[in-house]
């Protein structure tokens, strides 16, 4: 199934254009601080009914570390000026910042007849499909959610996309982050996703010169292809 998602991205810059495809409202939100968006996801999920359409939010965040509900503080390696927010998704600690594409998937899993593990695989596959458009081989791992690549020249394994979800009343929120073209330095201040020494990659390492805004429509279409 192919879905035509039309998001306006003027020269790779975020716009406020919203669209809908296959019953999913797709909202490009631009660059946002973390906590207001997190609380908005919580409020949306708490208030939704069986008739509420699913939503897909696409954005970038201001610099922030987030620590999952079972996250271990020892994975934060030192003091930093970057704020740390303890949140309600699964997983350990990760970093979000400008140049990273965020896709928050606010989905009614019961209505879509999706299990949590199935949703994780579908989100991973959406990123894998996107990278394949740029001839980048990527893969998921059963024991470590996310999307991984082999670095050019060295062949070292690195994580290019992270996933974290919360399920409430049969509905999912949070989602995935894809490193596009960003400052990766803050990842050195943590054990990314709880793995010491884990390498982190981004699309520009492979010669892809895009912005998160320019990739948003393509990412949305890949997600819709997977969940419909």
CATH code of the domain containing 185:
3.30.930.10
Over residues 49-66, the mean pLDDT reads 96
Give CA 159 to chain center in angstroms: 12
**H or E stretch covering 30:** strand 24-32
- Range of weakest confidence among 153-157, 183-187, 188-192: 188-192
Query: ∠56-57-63 over CA atoms, to 5°?
Result: 150
Q: Is the pLDDT of residue 55 over 50?
A: yes
- For residue 132, is it within any domain? yes
Q: Is 197 annotated as a binding residue?
A: no
- For residue 9, is it within any domain? no
Q: Is 92 annotated as a binding residue?
A: yes
Q: Which pLDDT belongs to residue 59?
A: 97
Q: Considering 7, 64, 107, 193, which one is annotated as catalytic? A: 193
- For residue 59, is it within any domain? yes
Our count of domains for the chain comes to: 1
Q: Is 176 annotated as a binding residue?
A: yes
Q: Is the pLDDT of residue 1 over 60?
A: no
Over residues 140-161, the mean pLDDT reads 93
> Is the alpha carbon torsion for 47, 51, 52, 56 positive or negative?
positive
- For residue 7, is it within any domain? no
Enclosing domain of residue 111: 15-227
Q: Is the pLDDT of residue 135 over 90?
A: yes
Question: What's the CA gap between 221 and 147, in Å, rounded?
Answer: 18
Q: What is the pTM of this model?
A: 0.94
Mean confidence (pLDDT) of the chain: 92
Q: How many helices (H) and strands (E) does the chain have?
A: 4, 13
Contact 179, 161 (CB under 8 A): yes
Q: Is the pLDDT of residue 62 over 60?
A: yes
Q: Is 111 annotated as a binding residue?
A: no
Q: Is the pLDDT of residue 221 over 80?
A: yes
- For residue 4, is it within any domain? no
Number of Cβ within 10 Å of residue 164's Cβ equals: 23
Look up 193 and say whether it is catalytic.
yes
Q: Is the pLDDT of residue 2 over 50?
A: yes
- For residue 156, is it within any domain? yes
- Range of weakest confidence among 65-79, 100-114, 153-167, 196-210: 65-79
Q: Which pLDDT belongs to residue 8?
A: 63
- Range of weakest confidence among 76-80, 143-147, 202-206: 76-80
Q: Which pLDDT belongs to residue 179?
A: 98
Q: Which pLDDT belongs to residue 143?
A: 85
Q: Is 224 annotated as a binding residue?
A: no
Q: Is 175 annotated as a binding residue?
A: yes
Q: Is the pLDDT of residue 15 over 90?
A: no
Share of residues in the chain with pLDDT > 90 (%)? 75
- For residue 1, is it within any domain? no
Q: Is 140 annotated as a binding residue?
A: no
- For residue 8, is it within any domain? no
């Amino acid at each position: 199934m192919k879905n035509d998602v039309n998001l306006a991205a003027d020269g790779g810059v975020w716009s406020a254009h919203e669209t809908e495809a296959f019953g999913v409202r797709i909202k490009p939100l631009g660059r946002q601080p973390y906590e207001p968006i997190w609380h908005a996801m919580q409020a949306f999920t708490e208030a939704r009914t069986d008739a509420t359409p699913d939503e897909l939010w696409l954005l970038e965040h201001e610099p922030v570390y987030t620590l999952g509900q079972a996250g271990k503080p020892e994975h934060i390696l030192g003091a930093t000026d970057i704020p740390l927010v303890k949140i309600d998704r699964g997983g350990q600690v990760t970093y979000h910042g400008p140049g990273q594409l965020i896709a928050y998937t606010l989905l009614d899993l019961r209505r879509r007849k999706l299990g949590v593990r199935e949703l994780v695989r579908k989100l991973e596959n959406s990123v894998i499909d996107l990278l394949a458009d740029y001839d980048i081989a990527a893969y998921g791992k059963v024991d470590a959610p996310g999307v991984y690549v082999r670095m050019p020249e060295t062949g070292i394994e690195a994580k290019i996309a992270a996933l974290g979800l919360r399920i409430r009343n049969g509905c999912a929120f949070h989602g995935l982050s894809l490193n596009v073209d960003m400052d990766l330095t803050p990842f050195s201040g943590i054990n990314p996703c709880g793995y010491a020494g884990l390498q982190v990659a981004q699309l520009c390492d492979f010669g892809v010169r895009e912005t998160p805004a320019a990739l948003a429509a393509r990412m949305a279409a890949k997600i819709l292809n997977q969940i419909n």
